[in-house]
Amino acid sequence: MYDITGSIVTYKISKEDLLKVIKSFFCTNKNVRLYVSDNSPTNELQNFILNLNESRIEYVFNNFNGGYGYGHNRIINKITKVSKYHVILNPDIYFSYNVLDSLYEYMEEKKEIGNIMPMVKYPDGKIQYLCKRDPRLRDLFLRRFCPFKSIIEKNNFYYEMKDKDYTRIMEVPLLSGCFMFLRVNELERIKGFDENFFMYMEDFDLCRRLRKYSKLIYYPKVEIYHNHARESHKNFKMTWIHAKSAFKYFNKYGWLW
């Protein structure tokens, strides 16, 4: 039985970024195993993984880009009977030695928690406000299309829970999917990600289903770093993918607040 397993979904990924998150994951004294679930069109990443000479990594070539949730579910289906906790990792994350150990110990104390996220910072040290209230249609629309920064900031103040103290532990409605430290038996209960979401909103959907049975906790006693690219704000293709996921999300949970 592993103390902690982790999964990273890759698609034409920067090997430099991937190496950073791999090294971070192994900064722990716990019994761990890491899976790289590759949605890329070719398996050229396999040689890179093999050359690391790390027996605790398993490379899985999916030979199909089924999306973010699909890639993680391929691993979740492997670990439900062999791991106590599972970490969902973005490939653009990195962190220091005490993060996984601290989250593990806190989850051991608080059995009611199903998902926990540490403080997330940009590489320059600024906080990323990734705790969220349930999104309204206006929240997503303004963030992407509103030309007035003051209006966006005013709306984000509520949506990103900036009225709360980000230096204190708190229970929240939604946590970002860039880093999810999950209790495996709760993850198994909800059957992982909903693969109807190709990319974007799948983390919010998972949180909403998970919080029916357990708590979602923001834990700022430890911190990680995230090179947050916000790709859907940079090109039309990603905007369209985000919009389709939002449509599925509001169809599932309701359009009116």
pTM for the structure as a whole = 0.92
What pLDDT does residue 42 have?
95
Report the C-alpha gap between 216 and 198 in whole angstroms.
23
Phi and psi, residue 113, nearest 5°: -85, 130
Phi and psi, residue 99, nearest 5°: -65, -60
**Beta carbons of 170 and 218 less than 8 angstroms apart:** yes
Please give the DSSP secondary-structure letter assigned to residue 202. H
What pLDDT does residue 233 have?
45
DSSP letters, 115-148, are EEEEEEE-TTSPBP---BPPPPHHHHHHHHH---
What pLDDT does residue 119 have?
98
Residue labelled with tokens 């909403």: 208
- The per-residue pLDDT string of the chain (257 residues; one tens digit each, 9 = 90 and over) reads 999 999 999 998 889 999 999 999 999 999 999 999 999 999 999 999 999 999 999 999 999 999 999 999 999 999 999 999 999 999 999 999 899 999 999 999 999 999 999 999 999 999 999 999 998 866 666 656 655 566 677 778 888 999 999 999 999 999 999 999 999 999 999 999 999 999 899 999 999 999 999 999 999 999 999 987 655 445 668 887 888 888 898 899 888 65
What pLDDT does residue 187 have?
97
What pLDDT does residue 232 have?
43
